[in-house]
Amino acid sequence: MNNLKEKLYQKIQEHRPRITQLLEEHGDTVIDNVTVAQVIGGMRGIKSLVTDISYLDPFEGIRYRGFTLPEVLAKLPKPDRANMPFVEGLYYLLLTGEIPTKEEVESLVVDFKNRRVVPRYVWDVIDAFPSNSHPMAILSAAVMSLERESHFSSNYKNGINKMDYWSTTYEDATNLLAKMPLIGAYIYNKLYHPEKGHRYPDPSLDLGGNFAYMMGKDSPYDDVSRMYFIIHADHESGNVSAHTGHLVASSLSDIYYATSAMINGLAGPLHGLANQEVLRWLQGLMEQMKGEIPSEEDLKAYVWDTLNSGQVIPGYGHAVLRKTDPRYTVQREFCLKNMPEDPLFKYVDALYKVVPDILREQGKAKNPWPNVDAQSGVVQWHYGVTQYDFYTVLFAIGRSFGVLSNIIWDRALGYPLERPKSITTEMLEKMVEPK
C-alpha cells in the first residue's frame, strides 16, 4: 500500500465504530422534519445525506474537511515556482482530513503519473464522435468506455469481502482521476485544435502542470488549472453531480458508471453548464455595446431584459448559499492580481455592482449573490480557452475529486442502496386535509 492508502485505511478503521454506534444507539432519533414545500421543491434542505469530505454553510460557503478555500490554498504544498497547490494534495486532504507534507504529496504525484496511461480504445471512442458533439457528452462516453478496467467489478464477481470494497474502489478512483485531465485535454485538442494534434504527457509535471502542457498553454495556466480543479472539487453531497455519483454508486455500480452519470448531471444549465451560459450572456452584452463601455444604466437594462424575457441571470443565485460564493471570490482575487485590465473581467465586476440589487428588487431568487460560475469562464477566456462549451469539462475533472472521495468513503462505511420513498399527489393532498 502507498502512504495515502495506508493513512486512509487507518482513518477508515477509526471511523467505522462511530457509524456503528450512531446506528445502534440512536438509529430512531429524529433529526429533521419534512414539509410539503420540500417534497415538491426538490428536497431542498432536508438533512438526509452524510459526508465528512466537505460542508456547505449558507453564509460562509464551502469548507473541505473543515478548511475554508483560502486555508486550503494556503496550507496545501505547492510545486516549485507555483502559486497554487498540487491537486494531488487536495485528494490526500479530501480522503484523510489531513494536510499532507510536501514529501507525501510528491510521492502521490509519482503514483498519479504511474496511473495516467490512457488505453488506446478511449482515444478511438473520442475520435468516433462528430466534431459538433458537446464535449461533456464525449467526456461521459470516454469515462464510460474505461469501465472494463474496473478492479472493483472484477473483484466483486470473484466474491470480494464487503469490508474490502473500499480498497478496489480506491484503485479505480485514483486510476480514473489520474487519466481524466489527459482525456479532457485530448477532447479539447480534437474539437478545437485538430491541426495541432495530440500532445503526449510531460513526465516531469504534476497533474495541473501537465494538463496545461497538454492543452498547449503556458504559465500561469498551470496555476489556473490547479486553482480551477481545487475550487470545483466538492460542494457537499446534495448537489446534482455529487448526489448522482453517490446514488449510482449506492447500487454498487463501479466508479466508471457513477462518474459518467455525475458528468451527465453536471451538464445541465442550472448546474455545471452555467459557466458557459455566463460567457454566452456576457458576449451578448458586449455585442450589444458594440465596443462601447457600458454605463450602469446599460447594465441594468441588459439584466432586466434578461429577466423580463423569462430567463435566469446565469452565475447568480444558489440552492444553498446565501452570500457571495467564496469560489467566486478566490477567482476574483486571481483576476485582480493577474488580469485586472481584462475587458470581460471588467464587465463581470461591473455587473457584480448591479445584479444583486436587481435580483432583490425582482424578489424571486433567494440568493441574489454571484456563484462560482460568474467568474470561471472569464479566467479561461483570458488564457485563450474561448470555446465555452468546454468549461464544464474542467468543472467535471475538478468535481470528480470530491465525488470519488465520497464514493470511496461510502464503500468503506458500508452505506446502503439509496431508496427514499415517493408518494402520490393524492396522498399528499389527503395528508394536509384539515381533520
Catalytic residue positions, numbered: 271, 318, 373
Question: Which of 61/79 has CB closer to ligand AMX?
Answer: 61
Task: Tell me if 366 contacts ligand AMX by CB under 6 A.
Answer: yes
Cell readout for 263 is 458528468
- Residue pair 247/410 in contact (Cβ under 8 Å)? The answer is no
203, with CB counted inside 10 A (0-12, 13-18, 19+), is exposed
Q: How far is the CB of 381 from ligand AMX (least distance, A)?
A: 17
Q: Is there binding between residue 351 and ligand AMX (CB under 6 A)?
A: no
Q: Does 61 bind ligand AMX (CB under 6 A)?
A: no
Give the integer Cα–Cα distance in Å for 87 and 399.
12
CB of 69 to ligand AMX, least distance (A): 15
Q: From the CB of 348, what's the least distance to ligand AMX, in Å?
A: 13
63: which strand partners?
55, 68
Cis? peptide before 220, omega within 30° of 0: yes
Query: Distance between CA 313 and CA 202 in Å, rounded?
Result: 40
- Of the residues 184, 238, 245, 315, which one makes contact with ligand AMX according to CB under 6 A: 315
Smallest distance from ligand AMX to CB 370, Å: 8
Total binding residues for ligand AMX by CB under 6 A? 20
Nearer Cβ to ligand AMX, position 153 or 237?
237
Residue from 202, 122, 183, 119 nearest 397 by CA = 183
**What is the residue whose three cell numbers read 510528491?**
106
Which residue in 207, 313, 379, 407 binds ligand AMX (CB under 6 A)?
A: 313
Select the span of 149-157, 167-175, 204-212, 358-366 touching ligand AMX (CB under 6 A). 358-366
Task: Check binding of 43 to ligand AMX (CB under 6 A).
Answer: no
Choices 207-215, 286-294, 312-320, 398-406 (CB under 6 A): range interacting with ligand AMX: 312-320
Q: How far is the CB of 168 from ligand AMX (least distance, A)?
A: 31
CA distance 347 to 381: 13
Query: Which 232-271 positions form the footprint of ligand AMX (CB under 6 A)?
Result: 270-271
**Applying CB under 6 A, does 136 fall inside the site for ligand AMX?**
no
Nearest to 315 by CA among 391, 251, 259, 386: 391
Residues 6+ apart with CB under 8 A from 245: 258, 259, 261, 262, 403, 404, 406, 407
Among 318, 332, 382, 399, binds ligand AMX (CB under 6 A): 318
Q: Which of 104, 206, 223, 373 binds ligand AMX (CB under 6 A)?
A: 373
Euclidean distance between CA atoms 150 and 174, whole angstroms: 11
The vertex-14 CA angle with 11 and 15, nearest 5°, equals: 85
Query: Residue 395 Cβ, how far from ligand AMX at the closest point, in Å?
Result: 7
CB-CB contact of 220 with 338 (8 Å): yes
Site of grid cell 494538463: 211
Q: How far apart are CA 4 and CA 96, in angstroms?
A: 8
Does residue 40 touch ligand AMX according to CB under 6 A?
no
Instruction: Round to whole Å and give the CA distance between 29 and 162.
Output: 27
88 binds ligand AMX (CB under 6 A): no
Q: Is 397 in the site for ligand AMX (CB under 6 A)?
A: no
Q: 3-class SS at 10?
A: helix
**Among residues 213, 281, 316, 401, which is the contact residue for ligand AMX, using CB under 6 A?**
316
- Select the span of 149-157, 160-168, 186-194, 365-373 touching ligand AMX (CB under 6 A): 365-373
Question: What CA–CA distance (Å, rounded) separates 267 from 265?
Answer: 5
Chain contacts with ligand AMX (rule: CB under 6 A): 270-272, 274, 307, 312-319, 364-367, 371-373
